[in-house]
Amino acid sequence: MTPAIRRPGNVSFLIAIMALVASACSVAAPSASPSAVPSAVPTPSVTVAPSATPNATSNPGSTPAPTVAPSTAACATLPQTVQMPSDRVTDIEVLGLPGRDVVRFTFGNGSLTPVGPPSGSLASAAPPFTHAASGLPIDLAGDHAAQVVFKGMSIMNDVGQPTFTGERQIKVTDVSRSLREVILFDESEGQIGWYIGYDGSSCVSVSREGDAVLVVIDFGPGS
């Protein structure tokens, strides 16, 4: 039997082909260019608008108390008169309001046998101040003074009991107020009188409101 003839050339050729294939497989795939890789889409920023500052109506508890500017109008002249609710004053009250002090005199039912039509007046007062019955001096507080006098009054009810049950002297210690003192200086059958001391150049007036007479001290330039 004839031995097979080896062909070295063919073997070399096959080895070369296999080397080429292996080289091709070992080459790394090209990386994508930076421009080809999509960048992450940025999340849009959100700006929160500041909340509106609450106004006085939405948050009344945080707003300061209102202030009243002094009046620039001239004060009404004194003396002044006032229509009376009745001939019996029963109480007195002092009110400190924005821009003014108020002395409020409350009146009750009229007497069955009045001594005459009641009347009221407000006038300026000047020292010396005294009690009408005793003549004893009154040290009235305040830089200025006014007096309110009610005439045609009954100080007793129909069974002989006093009709006035309020304070006879009221002092005001609050330095932010104009009113300093109110004191009863006359309490006789037919007439009741009060001194009113106050500071500053305030305007004083008298008026009626229902069953009350009001002496109002408006903070202002005065005279």
How many domains does the structure of the chain reveal?
1
Pairing of strands 169-171, 144-153: unpaired
Determine, yes or no, domain membership for 124. Answer: yes
Determine, yes or no, domain membership for 185. Answer: yes
pLDDT at position 73 is 63
Find where tokens 């039912």 sit. Answer: 109
Determine, yes or no, domain membership for 206. Answer: yes
Determine, yes or no, domain membership for 58. Answer: no
SS3 label, residue 24: helix
pTM: 0.66
CATH of residue 155's domain is 2.60.40.3500
pLDDT averaged over 10-residue windows placed end to end, the chain, 223 residues: 48 48 45 44 38 35 38 80 96 96 96 89 97 95 97 90 94 96 94 96 96 95 53
pLDDT at position 112 is 87
The whole domain housing 83 covers 71-218
Determine, yes or no, domain membership for 42. Answer: no
Closest Cα to residue 96, out of 182, 31, 184?
Answer: 182
| Long-range Cβ pairs for the range 163-170 (8 Å, 24+) | 163/88, 163/89, 163/90, 163/108, 164/89, 164/90, 164/91, 164/192, 165/90, 165/91, 166/90, 166/91, 166/92, 166/93, 166/106, 167/92, 170/92, 170/94
Find where tokens 């003074």 sit. Answer: 145
Determine, yes or no, domain membership for 48. Answer: no
Determine, yes or no, domain membership for 28. Answer: no
pLDDT at position 221 is 62
Determine, yes or no, domain membership for 104. Answer: yes
pLDDT at position 168 is 96
